[in-house]
Amino acid sequence: MKAFIVDRYQKKSALRIGQMPVPEIREDEVLVQIHAAAVNLLDAKIRDGEFKLILPYRLPLILGHDVAGIVVKIGSKVRQFKLGDEVYAGPDDFRIGAFAEFIAIKEDSLAMKPTSLSMEEAASIPLVGLTAWQALVEKANLKQGQKVFIQAGSGGVGTFAIQLAKHLGAYVATTTSTANIDLVKSLGADVAIDYKKDNFEKILQDYDVVLNSQDTKTLERSLQILKPGGKLISISGPPDTAFGEEIGAPWFVRLIMRLLSFGVRRKSTHRNISYTFLFMRAHGRQLREIASLIDAGAIRPVIDKVFPFEASNEAMAYVESGRAKGKVVIKIR
């Protein structure tokens, strides 16, 4: 099968287009013929080698964490899916590989795609949808009337998280550039702060939850707007010891995580705020719930550009530029 391949970790390097074997499926997996995939900053970070410690992939590697397509083969123990089903998924770590013509995905990580969406639209959802769901529903247990600050509202996670938070009945603040104020407000943001003009910590106060996706300085500024008992959830680091235990990291990696997160954990404890690092995990049942919300009209995909499969490197570069509003998708079939 045709695929875009990482042969060695190298910053800003182009992926190599080449032939790879069609994945062998295990008894609890299905083979999906990929129609569309989405590009995430996570793909670039893995290519650059930034996750070597916590995700020690064997090279050569096919990137891609978002997939939509059609089931063409099923394992002997698969019961929920049949040949021809239109599905979408965020595959498990170490089973990624959406920048290709086929992918093997665990039954438990897969869901029927939202019926109201095209393949390209469906492929834009899994990683950002699961990240927002696991942050706001699982970790934060966000309730009606609570206040949540979602950073970078016009980005992939931001555009989804704003809509999910509004569906849950929360009051939503976000940051974005001048050009995207109208976009984030159309998604449901109650407060949209132009990060080039204003400091959010001087405007916001007494928030229940912060979803951090920015750098360490922004993370520490976010502590100032949370009320005692509030929750700071970060998807951009630093990873904490609980995450190290969750992924079964070796002791020395857990020690590194402990040291990296020491400062923010100490400041959080001092303010009676809980700090959690979140790294999205595959979850078919959550994708089914997300599909129901989309088909009910509660959440809509936000796509900036769709690139042809042959232009996967250009799609990666566009995501890395930081200019994308919502998601960037690759059309494979």
Residue 237 has pLDDT above 90, yes or no: no
Answer whether residue 309 is part of any domain: yes
Percent of the chain with pLDDT over 90: 92
**Cis status, amide bond into 114, omega within 30 of 0:** no
Which pLDDT does position 272 carry in this prediction? Answer: 97
The answer as to whether 290 is a domain residue is no
In the chain, the number of structural domains is 2
**Phi, psi of 318, rounded to the nearest 5 degrees:** -65, -40
Of 277, 293, 321, which residue is a domain's last? 277
Give me the pLDDT at residue 219, please: 95
Q: What would the pLDDT profile of 198-224 be if each residue is shown by its tens digit?
A: 999 999 999 999 999 999 899 999 999
| Domain interval for residue 61 | 2-124+301-331
Do 183 and 264 share a domain, yes or no?
yes
**Mean pLDDT across the stretch 134-141?**
98
Same domain, 253 and 308: no
What is the model's pLDDT at position 285? Answer: 98
For residues 257 and 134, state if they share a domain: yes
pLDDT tens figures, 40-93: 999 999 999 998 888 899 999 999 999 999 999 999 999 999 999 999 999 999
* Assigned domain for 293 exists: no
Q: Give dist(CA 128, CA 108) in Å, integer.
A: 18
Identify the pLDDT of residue 190.
Answer: 98
Q: Are residues 55 and 173 in the same domain?
A: no
Biggest alpha carbon–alpha carbon distance for the chain: 58
Q: Please state, rounded to an integer, the average pLDDT across all residues of the chain.
A: 96
pLDDT tens-digit readout, 1-14: 999 999 999 999 99
Distance CA 258, CA 241 (A): 5
Q: Looking at residue 119, which CATH number applies to its domain?
A: 3.90.180.10
Asked whether residue 65 is assigned to any structural domain, the reply reads yes
Same domain, 106 and 42: yes
**Which band of pLDDT confidence, cut at 50, 70 and 90, is reported for residue 116?**
very high
What does the pLDDT average to over 233-248?
90
- The answer to whether position 221 is within a domain reads yes
Residue 154 pLDDT class (50, 70, 90 cuts): very high
Q: Could you tell me if 205 and 173 are in contact, meaning their C-beta atoms sit under 8 angstroms apart?
A: no
Task: Tell me what pLDDT residue 100 has.
Answer: 98
Q: What is the pLDDT of residue 241?
A: 85
Question: 136 and 267 share a domain?
Answer: yes
pTM score, two decimals? 0.97
> Could you tell me the end-to-end alpha-carbon distance of the chain, in angstroms, rounded to an integer?
13
Whether 224 maps to a domain, the answer reads yes
Of residues 39, 55, 49, 51, the one with CA closest to residue 94: 55
pLDDT of residue 64: 98
70 & 156 share domain: no
* CATH number of the structural domain spanning residue 242: 3.40.50.720
* Domain shared by 104 and 238, yes or no: no
In this structure, the answer to whether residues 245 and 327 fall within a common structural domain is no
Ramachandran sector of residue 322 (left: φ over 0; alpha: ψ -120 to 50; beta: rest): left
User: Is residue 295 in some structural domain?
Assistant: no
Check whether residue 213 and residue 104 sit in a common domain. no
Q: What CA–CA distance (Å, rounded) separates 46 from 57?
A: 9
Q: Is residue 156 part of a domain?
A: yes
176 with 256, same domain: the answer is yes
Rounded-to-integer distance, Cα 131 and Cα 128, Å: 5
Do 19 and 81 lie in a common domain? yes
**Residues 158-195 pLDDT 10s:** 999 999 999 999 999 999 999 999 999 999 999 999 99
pLDDT for the residue numbered 111: 98
